[in-house]
Amino acid sequence: MTTWTRDSKVPGAEGCGVNDGEDEAKAAAEEWMREHRATAARAAPVRLDALESAYVPAGRPLEAAAHDDNRITWHPAAL
């Protein structure tokens, strides 16, 4: 299982976190987006670099977009 980070922000608030999998990260990001009326979010697979004590990229990130009909769609982030 890959670890995933997620983040989203609106003026005055920022939501971020770490989840054990892609589905959990996307669900948490979507919940935060709906609660704060955010229009975008990002989720990314990462791995922990023990020497640096930091997360490093482990794959292509995903970006979310909120739509007027309360749907949130995900797509691969631009490189």
Residue 22 is encoded by which pair of tokens?
């892609």
Short-list 15, 30, 36, 11, CA closest to 73? 30
Q: What is the rounded distance in angstroms from the CA atom of residue 35 to the CA atom of residue 30? A: 9
Concatenate the DSSP letters of all residues of 15-56 into one string. EEEEESSHHHHHHHHHHHHHHHT-SEEEEEEEEEETTTTEEE
What local confidence, expressed as pLDDT, does residue 13 receive? 95
What local confidence, expressed as pLDDT, does residue 1 receive? 65
Residue 79: is its pLDDT beyond 90? no
Identify the bridge partners of residue 55 per DSSP, sorted by sequence position.
Answer: 48
What is the number of structural domains in the chain?
A: 1
Residue 66's domain comprises: 3-76
Predicted TM-score (pTM) of the model is 0.91
Q: What is the rounded distance in angstroms from the CA atom of residue 10 to the CA atom of residue 29? A: 13
1-58: per-residue pLDDT in tens?
A: 689 999 999 999 999 999 999 999 999 999 999 999 999 999 999 999 989 889 999 9
